[in-house]
Amino acid sequence: MDAQTLIARRIARELRDGMLVNLGIGIPTLVANFVPEGIHVFFQSENGLIGTGPVPEPGMALAWLTDAGGKPVTALPGACAFDSAISFGLIRGGHLDLTVLGGLQVDQNGRLANWMIPGKMVPGMGGAMDLVTGARRVIVAMQHAAKGRSKIVRECSLPLTSDRPVDLVVTELAVIGFPEGRATLLETADGVTVDQVIAATEAELVIPSNVKEGGGASTSYESA
C-alpha cells in the first residue's frame, strides 16, 4: 500500500456518522474513498457544495462541478450548492465537525504551515486559514518527510496558516496528537517502531507508556 493511501485509510477511521467534513486538496481527497461501512458523512467543499461524491467515471465529468482544487467531482442525491458567502459562513461559524488538510510543516506545538514556500509561485491560502480556525477538529494528512527532511519540526520555518494548534497529524509512520500543546506520539503504523518514528522526527516527541504500536483503534473524537 502506498504512503498516501495508508494515510487516507487511517484518517477515515476518525469519521463519525452524520459529520460535516471538509477535505482539502491532495491526500485529504483520498479519505472519501475509505469511509467505514455504515457511516454516512456529508463532505463540504469551500467553493460551495455539500454532498460531494466520488470522482466521475471517464467521460462523465462536468466542467462546472469541481472541488476547491478544481478537480471534477460528482454530487450525491440531496447535495446542495451555494455561494462563497454561505460556504465561508459555515466554516467561520463553527459548523464543520472536521477538516482534513495537507501540510508542509507542523511544529511541536501543533501549528500548521501549509500554504506558501518563499520564492515559489503559489495560488494563495484559499480557505486554509478559515478552516484551521473555524472547524471543530483539524487533522493534517501529510507524508512524514520531504526530500529526507522531517515535516514535523521544532519550529516552522514556513509562514503559519494559523496559530491554532491542529488536533492530529497522520503520516505513513505515525499518528501524532497535541494534548497540552505538545507533540505526542499516539500510534505507530503497521511495521513501524517507536524508535523509528523518533529517528524520523525533528520535533521533540512525548512518548506515553500506552503508545499503540502497529496501528490501533481510532482516537476518541469526543476527547480530542
pTM of the model: 0.91
Nearest to 174 by CA among 195, 146, 144: 144
Q: What is the pLDDT of residues 92-142, one digit of tens each?
A: 999 999 999 999 999 999 999 999 877 776 666 778 999 999 999 999 999
pLDDT at 221: 40
Q: What is the pLDDT of residues 139-188, one digit of tens each?
A: 999 999 999 999 999 999 999 999 999 999 999 999 999 999 999 999 99
208: in domain? no
212: in domain? no
pLDDT band at 220 (very low <50, low <70, confident <90, very high): very low
Q: Is the pLDDT of residue 190 over 70?
A: yes
With b for 16 or more beta-carbon neighbours within 10 A and e for fewer, the 11-48 pattern comes to bbbbbeeebbbbbbbbbbbbbbeebeeeeebbbbbbbb
pLDDT at 67: 86
Domain that holds residue 8: 3-200
217: in domain? no
Catalytic residues: 46
218: in domain? no
The CB density around residue 109, as the number of other CB atoms within 10 Å, is 17
216: in domain? no
Size (the chain), residues: 224
Q: Which residues lie closer than 8 Å to 210 by C-beta, 6 or more apart?
A: none
Q: What is the pLDDT of residues 58-98, one digit of tens each?
A: 999 999 899 888 889 999 999 999 999 999 999 999 999 99
Total domains, the chain: 1
CATH number for the domain spanning 164: value is 3.40.1080.10
